[in-house]
A and B are shown apart, each in its own frame.
Chain A
Amino acid sequence: MSGVAAAAAPLALPKRRRPIVVLLRRAWRLPRTKVGVLLMLLLVGTALIGPFFAPHDPAAFANIPYGKPGGSTPLGTDALGRDVLSRFLWGGRSILGLSTAATAIGLVLGVSIGLVSAYSRGLLDDVLMRIMDVILAFPSIVLALVAVSTVGPKLWLIVLVVGLTTMPRVARVTRGASAEIVERDFVQAAEALGEPRAKLLLGEILPNITSPLMVEASLRLTYAIGLIASLSFLGFGEQPPAADWGLMINENQQGLTIQPWGVLMPVIAIALLTIGTSLIGDGLSRASAGIDRTGGE
């Protein structure tokens, strides 16, 4: 009983939980989310803390090329004789940093465009969405290759291009989720009060679409990780002698039959990372679907 009508009525214990907290708690109850978070923590932990435990300098030669595991090189050495374990421990930072930055750029741009599009409707909506469609029509890897081969393999360029290819998908989801919110009376009420448009979009509409956006963000992060790993595999990302998971696969692929660890470790890491982020996304989407069904609580 939540009787706040009578000024004198005693209040029952209030449940003051922000809706976003409710979503996170619900998602956490699902086993898939726990597994996803665990994988994510494991790999982010490896990337961030790993370098402190690296036995060798990632760029230093430790043994003969394709050296067998053992001794001071527990996972053997790579094509140039550098320690695989050390390079693996060092190699996660760039991919994580770049993909997070790219996803963030994609989210900010996509959310802005989606919100403006849903709110304005009419011609502006059409123009914005058609532009998004055009970007969507290009395979993102091709777009990235074109940009990189014109300007050169710059890291900021990779982040920007991956961010831009993330943008249209985020914009579509944002627009779809907001289209229904824009019609609601509380938006009309803010409109009648004359609330500034930017405040209306960010204060009234955005908080109501956080659930689909969180799902979309984790999904986009998954794709960004894959895309950036592919770009560094192709040699457009971090440049040698830097340690990078995508680059490691490229460098060691020819020795796969002799010394597989140089390829296997980064492959496993990238796979687990993407599985982790997509499991989190899946957990969030299931939890938010449940929330929508029961109307908030």
Chain B
Amino acid sequence: MTPPVLEVVGLRVEVEGRGDDIVDDISFAIGAGEVLGLVGESGSGKSTVGLALLGHTRRGARITGGEVRVEGRDILGLSPAGLRGLRGKTVSYVPQDPASALNPALRIRTQLEEVLETHAFGDSRAARAARMREMLEEVLLPSDDGFLRRYPHQLSGGQQQRVGLAMAFACRPRVIVLDEPTTGLDVTTQAHVLSTVRDLCSAHGVAALYVSHDLAVVATLADRVAVMYAGRIVENGPERVLFRAAAHPYTRRLVEAIPEMSGRHALEGIAGTAPRPGQRADGCFFAPRCTYAVEACTIELPPLEQSGEGHFVRCVRHAEISALGVSERRPAPELPEPDTATTLVSVRGLDAWHGDRQFLFGIDLSVLPRQCVALVGESGSGKTTLARCIAGLHRDFKGELALYGKPLAAGARARSRDDRRRLQYIFQSPYSSLNPRKTIAQIVSQPLGLFFDLDHRETHERVVATLERVRLNPSAMTRYPHELSGGERQRVAIARALAAEPTLLVCDEITSALDVSVQAAIIDLIAELQREMKLGLLFVTHNLALIRTIAEEVAVMNAGRIVERGKVEDVLASPQDAYTKALLADTPSMELALAAGA
């Protein structure tokens, strides 16, 4: 067996000054041509590990221990000049957001040349020019002069990320760190970028670390997977073993939180939040949230133990847990029967514009009471514009819009108080949809003050009841949004919508800013609320895997038109439209990835 290209031993990164560890005891190895997926939820320290492979940390952090060996040489001991020579040449990095990683003022040619020149790649200008074209062809981009003369803003998101890949692979590095490079991309683009990464790594024998929060993506790409939780690697093993017979409770829960295309099981989130640096108690960090926890778990942090061939686990009960096999899971609950007697909201022949550009063309859509309709499409398909037209936030449209058969005015302010109350909109990002200067109680009571005539005590009681409804502790009332986690904030946003006692909820990508385990919990909550409160739901998402568990009907949008509509089972089982077929094929899915490997 050849020695690994990259070896990390006992890496520790601390918060500067305080000495609290951000990550500690990180050890793994990656061989030539191998892709290691580093998976974890936000705040787990996965990006910190990725950057440490380049000998770099974010401001306020410092590498204080361990070794990062590239082909046997420890890079952490290198001088600043040595590190500069290493970065981009031997170890390269592909950042998350290609749009902000490329210099908007420089042409693509200049930026690519810069990488090659910095590292004195090739003997002559001609050799470098040849390499530049070769690189672009490798990442499946045009290599003509016309393309090289472009500026980053003239490229699509996928093309920008390919340029990023080309720059990373330019000097034939030995190790490449990819930090969530496909997060902002559409599924179709993502599928292409992922296959490019895979091909390049195996063709050139590059050791790749693929940092991601998306387990489905990692399952399709990685050979091995390391799972991080609260700054530690809790499990590290071959991809197939890890996703099928995980031995760490956290990994098992994480896998269960991934939405399945088949939608057989209910999505289950993980209660609680991960401890942050400086707040980590003795014992296993996952113990407070773990259903398998025993007394031994709270005494000391378990070491990373070998559980099988190339499979390491940090859990005192890993042997018992891996023997459990596939765990029993709650089946997906029945969807409520829609009420077909009336139509809750109907859209007919809707055209919408942003300025001079038309974004929606002849949209027909209806939602029945107690029905969940999913609106699926990629970014730019117009799905959010449609949702905003319905919610009264986008006024520039023509066409019919009706609530219970009565026409709805274009802007929210032109609608009656009752229409505004019945139709509530939940925003994508709970980080911007809550006013940072208001307490949770003030936020949730906002619709109460506008729609109901309540005294102080009644308002308080309603707020408490609504918070309990979304499973938030009423003690959160006096907190400010920044004191809550992303999932908790989204619950507050849902509570604000519920406080108005709506009949239709418009959910615009409400889980796309959240971690998978949190996403699962939020979807579960929304589904339950829909059942209990008999709500109609318009669920906007780009994630096809999500709709099966929650929606009854689906409308697929592409370039401002609804291209396919029907029952969710029918559309997923036998898509009719070419676009829907392509979308289904490109959606990364755990089940498909595992089935393909079997």
Bound-complex Cα distance A192 to B427 (A): 11
Bound-complex Cα distance A273 to B496 (A): 47
Bound-complex Cα distance A5 to B424 (A): 23
The answer to whether A189 touches B438, judged by C-beta atoms less than 8 angstroms apart, is no
Report A-chain residues with C-beta under 8 Å of the C-beta of B271: 5-6, 9
Which positions 3-32 of chain A face chain B at CB distance < 8 Å?
Answer: 3-7, 9, 11-12, 14-16, 18-19
Q: Which of A4, A185, A190 contacts B432 (CB 8 A)?
A: A185
Bound-complex Cα distance A189 to B491 (A): 15
The answer to whether A208 touches B435, judged by C-beta atoms less than 8 angstroms apart, is yes
C-beta contact mask, B423-436 vs A, less than 8 Å → 1, else 0?
01101110011111
The answer to whether B484 touches A194, judged by C-beta atoms less than 8 angstroms apart, is no
Report A-chain residues with C-beta under 8 Å of the C-beta of B432: 184-186
The answer to whether A16 touches B482, judged by C-beta atoms less than 8 angstroms apart, is no
Report A-chain residues with C-beta under 8 Å of the C-beta of B434: 186
Tally of chain A residues near chain B (CB < 8 A): 33
Report A-chain residues with C-beta under 8 Å of the C-beta of B276: 1
State which of B183-191, B467-475, B561-569 sits at the interface with chain A. Answer: B467-475
The answer to whether B435 touches A6, judged by C-beta atoms less than 8 angstroms apart, is no
Q: Which of A2, A16, A184, A195 contacts B273 (CB 8 A)?
A: A2
The answer to whether B447 touches A193, judged by C-beta atoms less than 8 angstroms apart, is yes
The answer to whether B393 touches A188, judged by C-beta atoms less than 8 angstroms apart, is yes
**Smallest CB gap from B420: residue in A:** A194
The answer to whether B436 touches A296, judged by C-beta atoms less than 8 angstroms apart, is yes
Bound-complex Cα distance A4 to B480 (A): 12
Tally of chain B residues near chain A (CB < 8 A): 49
- Minimum C-beta distance from A171 to chain B (A): 21
Report B-chain residues with C-beta under 8 Å of the C-beta of A192: 391-393, 412, 420, 424-425
**Smallest CB gap from B279: residue in A:** A1
Bound-complex Cα distance A296 to B476 (A): 17
The answer to whether B427 touches A185, judged by C-beta atoms less than 8 angstroms apart, is yes
**Smallest CB gap from A297: residue in B:** B482
Report A-chain residues with C-beta under 8 Å of the C-beta of B500: 193
- Is A126 in contact with chain B by the CB < 8 A criterion? no
**Smallest CB gap from A210: residue in B:** B437
Most buried by A among B391, B428, B434, B436: B436
Which positions 441-478 of chain B face chain A at CB distance < 8 Å?
Answer: 446-447, 450, 468, 471-473, 475-476, 478
- Minimum C-beta distance from A278 to chain B (A): 26
The answer to whether B482 touches A295, judged by C-beta atoms less than 8 angstroms apart, is yes
Contact A4-B488, Cβ < 8 Å, known A16-B478, A192-B391: yes
User: Dominant SS at the A interface?
Assistant: loop
- Is B57 in contact with chain A by the CB < 8 A criterion? no
Q: Which of A4, A15, A189 contacts B427 (CB 8 A)?
A: A189
C-beta contact mask, B133-175 vs A, less than 8 Å → 1, else 0?
0000000000000000000000000000000000000000000
- Is A191 in contact with chain B by the CB < 8 A criterion? yes
- Is A152 in contact with chain B by the CB < 8 A criterion? no
- Is B415 in contact with chain A by the CB < 8 A criterion? yes
Contact A194-B437, Cβ < 8 Å, known A2-B484, A5-B472, A189-B496: no
- Is B485 in contact with chain A by the CB < 8 A criterion? yes
- Is A207 in contact with chain B by the CB < 8 A criterion? yes
- Minimum C-beta distance from A86 to chain B (A): 47
Report B-chain residues with C-beta under 8 Å of the C-beta of A186: 432-435
- Is B487 in contact with chain A by the CB < 8 A criterion? yes
Bound-complex Cα distance A118 to B450 (A): 24
The answer to whether A208 touches B412, judged by C-beta atoms less than 8 angstroms apart, is no
The answer to whether A189 touches B476, judged by C-beta atoms less than 8 angstroms apart, is no
**Smallest CB gap from B451: residue in A:** A193
The answer to whether A194 touches B425, judged by C-beta atoms less than 8 angstroms apart, is no
The answer to whether A5 touches B488, judged by C-beta atoms less than 8 angstroms apart, is yes
- Is A251 in contact with chain B by the CB < 8 A criterion? no
- Is B413 in contact with chain A by the CB < 8 A criterion? yes
Report B-chain residues with C-beta under 8 Å of the C-beta of A125: none
**Smallest CB gap from A14: residue in B:** B479
Bound-complex Cα distance A207 to B438 (A): 9
- Is B483 in contact with chain A by the CB < 8 A criterion? yes
**Smallest CB gap from B437: residue in A:** A207
Report B-chain residues with C-beta under 8 Å of the C-beta of A11: 473, 475
Contact A195-B393, Cβ < 8 Å, known A5-B472, A6-B272: no
The answer to whether A190 touches B446, judged by C-beta atoms less than 8 angstroms apart, is yes
**Smallest CB gap from A296: residue in B:** B482
Q: Which of A9, A14, A188, A191 contacts B483 (CB 8 A)?
A: A14
Report A-chain residues with C-beta under 8 Å of the C-beta of B391: 192
Which positions 194-236 of chain A face chain B at CB distance < 8 Å?
Answer: 194-195, 204, 207-208, 210
Bound-complex Cα distance A6 to B474 (A): 10
- Minimum C-beta distance from B487 to chain A (A): 6
Ranked 5 nearest A-B pairs via Cβ: A207-B437, A185-B433, A296-B482, A4-B476, A185-B427
A-B contact pairs, 26 of them (CB 8 A): A1-B275, A1-B279, A2-B485, A3-B273, A5-B485, A7-B473, A11-B473, A184-B433, A185-B433, A186-B435, A188-B427, A189-B433, A189-B496, A190-B446, A192-B393, A192-B412, A192-B425, A194-B413, A194-B415, A194-B420, A194-B450, A195-B446, A204-B435, A207-B438, A208-B437, A210-B437
* Residue positions of B touching A, CB distance < 8 A: 271-273, 275-276, 279, 391-393, 412-413, 415, 417, 420, 424-425, 427-429, 432-438, 446-447, 450, 468, 471-473, 475-476, 478-480, 482-485, 487-488, 491, 493, 496, 500, 521
* Residue positions of A touching B, CB distance < 8 A: 1-7, 9, 11-12, 14-16, 18-19, 184-186, 188-195, 204, 207-208, 210, 295-297
